[in-house]
Amino acid sequence: MKIIFFSDTHLCKDFTERTHAVETFIKNVCAGADMVFLVGDIFEFYHGYKGYIYPWYQGIADALRGVTKRGKSVYYIEGNHEFGMGRYFQSYTGAVCVNEVAMDIEGKRVFVSHGDKFVGGPVRAMLKSRLAAWVMDCLGPRFTWAVAMAARVVLSKKEKPYNKRAFDRFRDYAGRKFDEGYDVVILAHSHMPDKVETEPGGKQRIYLNTGDFIANATYITYESCAGFQIVKYLPFP
Ligand SMILES: [Mn+2]
C-alpha cells in the first residue's frame, strides 16, 4: 500500500508555474498511490460555489478527478485558507472534503489534520463560521475572490520563517493526540517539515509534518514496507 500526504502549496491566480508543478505532481506521483491526502492550504483561497470552480484551479480539480477516476481514494482536508470546499468540488473531483481524518492504516491509528485549529485565534473562528460562509455565498465567487486577495495582504504570510516556538507547539499537539490513543499524527500548516519517532512503553508513535511546496518542496509517503517518510519533490521549481 502506498499513500501520499502533501499540503501548503498556496496556489493563486498568478502562480502559474507553481500550479503547473502541483498538477504534474498529482498526475505523476499521487496517481501512483493507493490513497492521497491533501492536508490543506492547497489553494490560497477557496470557498465552494455550486457549479463553479475558479478557472485558475480548474487544472488541479481535473488532475484530482483523474486520480479518483482511476479508483484511488483522495481526501481533501481543509486548511485555514479554505472555507468549505463545497459539494460541487467534492462531486466534480471525487475527493472527500473533510476537516480532519481519523482512520486505521495497516494496524495503526492515524490522525490527519491541517493543524491550524489549535494555533488559530478568534479571527480563524470568525472566518470559519457559518455566518462567514453565508456572506461568501451571497457575495458570489468573483467578489469574494477580490475581497480575499485584498485581505491576504494583511492575513497571509506565505514564506514563513523557521520558528522554534511554533515547531514545538506542533510537537506538543501531536503528543496530546498520542494521549488520545493515536499512533501516528500528521499535521501541516507550519511550513516546517518534521518527523519524530518515539517508543514509550515499547509502543511506536510517529508525528510528521508535511512541510510545504514553497520553501521546502516536501511531502510524506507511506509504504507498507518502508513506513512513513518525508520526501523532497525535486522537480519543484
Ligand atoms: Mn495553513
Based on the structure, what is the number of domains in the chain? 1
Ligand 1 centre to CA of 202 (Å) is: 33
Joined grid coordinates for residue 8: 501548503
Ligand 1 centre to CA of 81 (Å) is: 7
Joined grid coordinates for residue 33: 498511490
Ligand 1 centre to CA of 43 (Å) is: 10
Let me know if residue 72 belongs to a domain.
yes
Ligand 1 centre to CA of 116 (Å) is: 6
Ligand 1 centre to CA of 71 (Å) is: 29
Looking at residue 170, what is its pLDDT? 96
Let me know if residue 237 belongs to a domain.
no
Let me know if residue 158 belongs to a domain.
yes
Enumerate residue ranges in the chain where pLDDT < 70: 154-161
Looking at residue 91, what is its pLDDT? 97
Ligand 1 centre to CA of 203 (Å) is: 30
Looking at residue 117, what is its pLDDT? 86
What 3-state DSSP class applies to 67?
helix
Looking at residue 159, what is its pLDDT? 55
Give the CATH number for residue 91: 3.60.21.10
Ligand 1 centre to CA of 62 (Å) is: 23
Looking at residue 161, what is its pLDDT? 65
Give the strand order in the sheet containing 218-223.
Answer: 96-98, 73-77, 35-38, 2-6, 218-223, 227-232
Q: How far apart are CA 148 and CA 18, in angstroms?
A: 20
Ligand 1 centre to CA of 121 (Å) is: 13
The whole domain housing 174 covers 2-232
Looking at the whole model, is its pTM more than 0.85? yes
Tens digits of per-residue pLDDT, 148-177? 998 887 666 555 667 888 889 999 999 999
Looking at residue 123, what is its pLDDT? 82
